[in-house]
Amino acid sequence: MRIAYHLGAHFTDDERLLRCLLKNRDVLMQHEIVVPEPKRYRTLLRETATKLKGQAASLDDQALILEQIIEEDRAARLILSWDSFLSLPNYVLKDRLYPAAGERVRAFCQIFPEIEAEFHLAIRNPASFLPLLYDRLQPVSCAEFLAGADPLNLYWSDVIERILDSNPDAPLTIWCDEDTPLVWPEVLRSVAGLPADVVLQGEDDLLTSLMSGEGMTRMQAYLDSHPPQSVMQRRKIVSAFLDKFALPERVDQDIEMPGWTADMVSEMTATYEEDVARIAQMDEITFLAP
């Protein structure tokens, strides 16, 4: 068996991936892919990892935990999704972004040390990520919120390197949240471990939430009459229809943080784009680019 961990990050998914995969449970089971309900494993894994303190679970404990997570008789692949695998929201920032990401992911993997693991992670521009985290935590002050971190020097590449250093043998797939509408089918298949020709129900739910009804109807009609010959061709078609029919209130975000200026947001965005370019060149990861 192999475990695919969808690591989040926070504010990149809103359980969308899990909902889609749960909707396709019957199709996935034909491939011996198991997607349990999150209530079966999130608290269990957190409490177990805390108890183990970084040590490997015994074979007996592993068997008992799997029995609580998996109902099915057979499983070649187990998908576990939780945006707090890297950190609970309160500990996302302390001097840097997700400071405990590597050791925390390693601790969860130590629950099943005999089972191969792979990781999947969406990243997001800190200029839009931090305001959402701020709203979630409702801190007393911005200084308390940042906990020593410099908003202008937050790098997802550092987070990724910490994950890789602590889990060197596990494959890691990365994509940008901003690109998710264009790479969503590939994200689903990457996490599920499915071939490209398997059709999943709800693949277009994300686009439906971002585009007008007229736009979705026109796009589907175009795709039906002009079937794309490659993933890249489909992305270009989707991008063109999003440009024309995207709902502004769904794709535009007003960024507000105490003390931030437009110049600061621009600088953070430029730093993020440079960081993404650096990540895309990492040999150790698979990067899903539009």
Asked if residues 101 and 162 have their Cβ atoms less than 8 Å apart, the reply is yes
Identify residue 251 by its one-letter amino acid code. V
Does residue 128 lie within any of the structural domains?
Answer: yes
Does residue 221 lie within any of the structural domains?
Answer: no
The pLDDT mean for the chain works out to 94
113: CATH? 3.40.50
Does residue 21 lie within any of the structural domains?
Answer: yes
- Cis? peptide before 75, omega within 30° of 0: no
pLDDT-derived band at 152, boundaries 50, 70, 90: very high
Does residue 231 lie within any of the structural domains?
Answer: no
Identify residue 253 by its one-letter amino acid code. Q
- Average pLDDT on 267-277 reads 98
Radius of gyration of the chain, Cα coordinates, nearest whole angstrom? 20
pTM comes to 0.94
Does residue 183 lie within any of the structural domains?
Answer: yes
What region does 208 belong to: left with phi over 0, alpha with psi -120 to 50, or beta?
alpha
3 state SS of 197: coil
pLDDT-derived band at 203, boundaries 50, 70, 90: confident
pLDDT at 29: 95
Does residue 239 lie within any of the structural domains?
Answer: no
Residues spanned by the domain of 19: 2-199+264-288
Cα 118 from Cα 133, distance rounded (Å) = 26
Residue 279 is inside which H or E element, if any?
A: helix 262-280
Cα 190 from Cα 173, distance rounded (Å) = 8
- Average pLDDT on 236-255 reads 85
Q: How many residues does the chain have?
A: 290
Question: For the chain, what percent of residues have pLDDT higher than 90?
Answer: 82
- Average pLDDT on 55-81 reads 95
Does residue 165 lie within any of the structural domains?
Answer: yes
Three-state SS for 39-76 is: HHCHHHHHHHHHHHCCCCCCHHHHHHHHHHHCCCCCCC
Number of domain units in the chain: 1
Using alpha carbons, select from 106, 239, 95, 226 the residue that is nearest to residue 172: 106
Does residue 154 lie within any of the structural domains?
Answer: yes
With both helix axes pointing from N to C terminus, report the angle between 156-166 and 262-280 in degrees, rounded to the nearest 10.
40
Using alpha carbons, select from 159, 167, 147, 126 the residue that is nearest to residue 257: 126
pLDDT at 51: 96
